[in-house]
Amino acid sequence: MKRILCICVSLLPLVMSAGQIPEKVKPTKNLIIMVPDGVSTGVLSAARWYQRYVGDKDFDLHMSDYICGLVETSSSNSPMSCSAAAMSTIMTGVSSKAGYISAYPHLDPEQDIFELDGARTYQPLVTAMEAGRLEKGKSIGIVVTTKFYHATPACCVAHTDDRNDSRTIAYQMASSKLDVVFGGGNKRINDYAKEILEDQGIEYIHEDVEAFRSYDRDGRVWALFNESDLSYDIDRDDTKEPSLEEMTIKAIELLSRDKDGFVLMVEGSQVDFAAHANDPIGIVTEFLAFDRAVGVAMDFAEKDGNTTVVVLPDHGTSGVNLGKYGYSKGYRKGLDKAYGDMKNFKASADKLTVLLRDCKVEDIRAIFRQWTGIELSDKEYDSLVKNQGKKEGHYMEVVDSENLFKAIADIMSDHAAFGYSSGSHTGEDVFLAAYHPKDQVPRGLISNVQLSSYLCKALGLKKSLQELSDEYFADHTKLFAGKDCKIKEDKDRPELIVDCEGKELVIPAWRSYCMYDGKRYELPVAPVYMKADGKFYLPKEILKIAE
């Protein structure tokens, strides 16, 4: 009885959402997927009214005219999701689990709300972006404001059951034939990663914004501007880091030179970071920076006439909204009351944390006033002094302990009417905005699995993503059944060594080639070594090499 109920629940979202994906979608040359990470729906109105409050009275979001529905954000075993599970689902069409990066999730019989095939557990899954390159010959690119190997961008081309395995994710992404990567994360470009980039013919621009801005060559290019994440837009130094809008312009300019078209993913990564910290100015300014990038993409798409653009958050974070507990009779109060001192905020809570962490106690009031316009009360001042030496843990857990970041964000939120349900991910449906030259866009309430189906239709794929996964990521124990296979364990460079009737086939993990009888052969995808099951997953065409 329990199994029957589980099946019914798993089908319910699909039944409720049926018919919202157009039956026929004319494929377009280009596809742009845009993700404002961790944006609860309340952020749209909060950001819009903030911009009007600071002086742009006629302001509206660039995405407003394109909003066409809502998307469920559940994972396979929870009504809530993390970025890894959410983006994996969007990219692969398989409902995923927390921590998985475009790899088939394991079964969780006690909690699964969607049926999964246990025989496929850990299999790398070809993504919509990879399919665009493999089946349609399109260029592919990623633009983010976080580390290039963070969960959302990683789900576009990497495959693992552990989103925190950043080193091997970086190697996979370097080998994934990405034509454009703009963002942060230089920390993971070690000597081996540089070797991979060079082998792929990729020009690597390291923290050189002028070289990025002047770049106008054909060929693959990565431009990374920080060891880790980029600065919040409100804190950004334009001489050191480009804006998300600028990176999007450059990416489209370079990718659109491909006669076969392109697939581009743009992420407003740090709305989520700010929401986890309950930082009101960080949330609205990061979202507005993302919306300007949306304006760039929509303008290009409408002029081009052969581009589909899809915009949606992967999930909500913190349930942020304008209106909080204790903000009595807000319906009688104007913008000046709702936003309070926010017009004078010149820095995020993140930057203020850096400024106040090591300053003299007697300078706290002046520094806070300089960057926020707030005259600290004695209670607020005491809170900052008390927490000055306390550091936050993980960025997703800022509000879960006493620390300086939280104390600053609390004060900033207290001087506006921003309310939060938590500092964690939330399970609400998120907005969907889309453009298609024939207006063939999803409408109403759909699931994130259905959205993946729409991406495949917009690309005009002939094979399903699962068929492509079976073609490009086959289990080595089945592929080389009966042959002597050995795995050479190495932290950075594990290898599968196959004895092919006296000739040696050497297959490095996370590299887009293999060596057979001493000769190098290029592969369409980089083989993946899944540590969880101790298997290599390989393109089937490797059998032709070893014939």
pLDDT (tens digit, 9 = 90+) per residue, 397-419? Answer: 899 999 999 999 999 999 999 99
Query: What confidence score (pLDDT) does residue 546 get?
Result: 84
pLDDT above 50: residue 10 = no
pLDDT above 60: residue 18 = no
CA distance 220 to 181: 9
CA distance 313 to 63: 13
pLDDT (tens digit, 9 = 90+) per residue, 171-224? Answer: 999 999 999 999 999 999 999 999 999 999 999 999 999 999 999 999 999 999
Q: Which fold has domain 473-545?
A: Copper Amine Oxidase; Chain A, domain 1 (3.30.457)
Beginning with the edge strand found earlier in the chain, give each strand of the sheet holding 220-224 in spatial order. 202-206, 220-224, 180-184, 139-147, 262-268, 30-36, 307-311, 430-435, 67-72, 444-447
CA distance 493 to 90: 30
Query: What confidence score (pLDDT) does residue 5 get?
Result: 34
pLDDT above 50: residue 1 = no
Contact 460, 446 (CB under 8 A): no
Query: What confidence score (pLDDT) does residue 547 get?
Result: 77
Query: What confidence score (pLDDT) does residue 355 get?
Result: 97
Count of beta carbons in the 10 Å neighbourhood of residue 360: 8
Confidence of residue 492 (pLDDT cuts 50, 70, 90): confident
What ranges do the domains of the chain cover?
Answer: 2-13+35-320+424-467, 345-416, 473-545
Span 2-13+35-320+424-467 CATH architecture: 3-Layer(aba) Sandwich (3.40)
Query: What confidence score (pLDDT) does residue 394 get?
Result: 87
pLDDT (tens digit, 9 = 90+) per residue, 293-329? Answer: 999 999 999 999 999 999 999 999 999 999 999 899 9
pLDDT above 80: residue 8 = no
Burial environment of residue 358 by CB neighbours within 10 A (0 to 12, 13 to 18, 19 or more): exposed
Beginning with the edge strand found earlier in the chain, give each strand of the sheet holding 535-538 in spatial order. 474-475, 535-538, 528-530
Query: What confidence score (pLDDT) does residue 14 get?
Result: 37
Query: What confidence score (pLDDT) does residue 452 get?
Result: 98
pLDDT above 50: residue 78 = yes
pLDDT above 50: residue 16 = no
pLDDT above 90: residue 159 = yes
